[in-house]
Amino acid sequence: MISVLFDNRQDIMEITEANEKAIETAVETVLMAENQSGNYEVSVSFVSNEEIRSLNKDFRNVDSETDVLSFPMDDDDEFDGVIILGDIVLSTQRIIEQANEFGHSLEREMIYLTVHSMLHLLGYDHMTTSEKEEMRQREKEIMKELQLFK
């Protein structure tokens, strides 16, 4: 069982039930693609550029806006048999900007950022070229499975 908790702390973009369902599907697809089974919980927050910039500064010491932040929990964080993977924080302003920039839908951008962040929660990173290539390949494979890769 996979539980996705939503927290909408912005008023820039309407977050619909369809958006939430698409995110839940993306979370499930990433877990299946990574051969993860069990009971999982993930938190997804929608925030403004101002809030994500503040979080980025506080937690990463980077004083700039970003599109998504991932806050993985420790590997042993389990509560009543539920593995708490961590938190995904999405900037809705950046979703809108990047969807326009790349010429695709808001939902496609939101799902891509969710997939990217889920891979971070599962231990992927892109600090080196090889890590970046591996992570990008996994993103493409998962987005294809979600039928969202061009």
Binding residues for Zn(2+): 116, 120, 126
Residues annotated in a binding site: 116, 120, 126
End-to-end CA distance of the chain: 30
Tokens of 64: 């700039």
Residue 9, C-beta contacts closer than 8 angstroms, at least 6 positions apart: 45, 46, 47, 48, 51
Radius of gyration of the chain (CA): 15
Tokens of 15: 């977050």
